[in-house]
Structure 1
């Protein structure tokens, strides 16, 4: 694998400032004075983070790419450890505006208005567990993600998410994805209690199965696959609970990766 360019080649102003945090302050021309923006000692040219005035809010993290001139910014929701907003830009001044808005406690939509490169995911920050709202926001995050996909199978995936989310029995469960398969849990993150079924898009149509390890049945439409998923859904699940800890050692999954 080729070695990345020297930091001073891609980011001369950051190398001159000594850190990404210092460069952000410089480009902000006083707008970040008093903001607790820092860079780690290990990689000061590539990373920075800023805390918020909101005590329940996680820091906004900024990372410089190593092979091309670009910055990523993201911030997670504390209870689920999933992004509430994220994005990439080659405009350092725009990053500085995102830093200011995040620190000041602006909601994700207003951070996006100040710095359009960072996009809300559909999740909202909660200061305490609220399983019903966490379920609703996770479905919104799935729809947002599906709308932004630019893959050949994006349209089919959007159909699947919409069809599943339109059915009460599934929309009341906590959704998540694994290798782009749509799955469900009777508990929210951080410790989910996974239940069948599994839904996904395939070259030959839409598939539904009880387990990830199964090939499943194929259907011509997303609605037909969802109907099969309902047939495979266990009875007596009850309201989704906050995933405070594993209830069932066989099904509990600790914050699995998305997609």
Structure 2
């Protein structure tokens, strides 16, 4: 791990990453409320948003080369709406301004092209059905973009999404195992089997995310999904909010 003063002498000269972001914004003719981390002022900073359903944008410096990463989360589940990395601090400042100002996610990317959209969309009222749709959109986006675990995983996600009995459940993954819940985050209620993609012609349906104690082995994603539906204990109603646990908020 390199000394941040060596990798980022200009940031060190400014005193913090927050100060450097503010200076970059001023050079661009705008301003942002960038705040440095108390524990790592040269490496981490945040920029608050004017939207209550957005957490502060987190900006971090890479430790092994000169580069910066961002992550912007929604405030209910703390799941990323945007992320990305770049060598251009001015672009980071542009992304931070758009995030702070409440600009639509797609327009943040227009303002700063390095920004990556995770596929999730904003659900300010925390409607569980819409949050479920958002998470499915994220998983499908992620599966399309991944080089690993590859085509088999992508096929599995798409097959599961195409099945109404599974599409109505809140999806999540554990070690690239596709799983389901009857509640949204932050408190998931695990429901039904797990689906694993090993290769384009080998899939496992199991009650354990490791694939142990398999319920079925199939050669296509569609067959795996059909087996998962067959092993659902019952057909639940619409997904409910994971903000409620044991009867209390």
Q: TM-score range by the shorter chain?
A: over 0.9
The whole-number CA distance in structure 2 between the counterparts of 1:34 and 1:145 is 33
1:151-166 aligned at under 5 Å gives the runs 151=148, 153-166=149-162
Identify the residue that residue 95 of structure 2 maps to in structure 1. 98
Identify the residue that residue 251 of structure 1 maps to in structure 2. none
Report deviation, 1:23: 1.2
| Cα distance change, pair 32–123 in 1 and its aligned pair in 2 (3 A) | farther
The whole-number CA distance in structure 1 between the counterparts of 2:60 and 2:233 is 43
1:1-259 aligned at under 5 Å gives the runs 4-31=1-28, 33-151=30-148, 153-203=149-199, 205-212=202-209, 214-216=212-214, 217-247=216-246
How many residues align? The count is: 244
Report deviation, 1:77: 1.3
RMSD, aligned CA:
1.7
| Cα distance change, pair 211–25 in 1 and its aligned pair in 2 (3 A) | same
| Cα distance change, pair 84–166 in 1 and its aligned pair in 2 (3 A) | same
The whole-number CA distance in structure 2 between the counterparts of 1:104 and 1:31 is 16
Q: Which runs of 5+ in 2 are unaligned?
A: none
After the TM superposition, which parts of structure 1 deviate over 6 Å for at least 4 consecutive aligned residues?
A: none
What is the TM-score normalised by the length of structure 2? 0.92
Deviations 1:14-60 (A, max 9, x none): 01111111112222334475422110222110011111121222110
The whole-number CA distance in structure 2 between the counterparts of 1:30 and 1:104 is 18
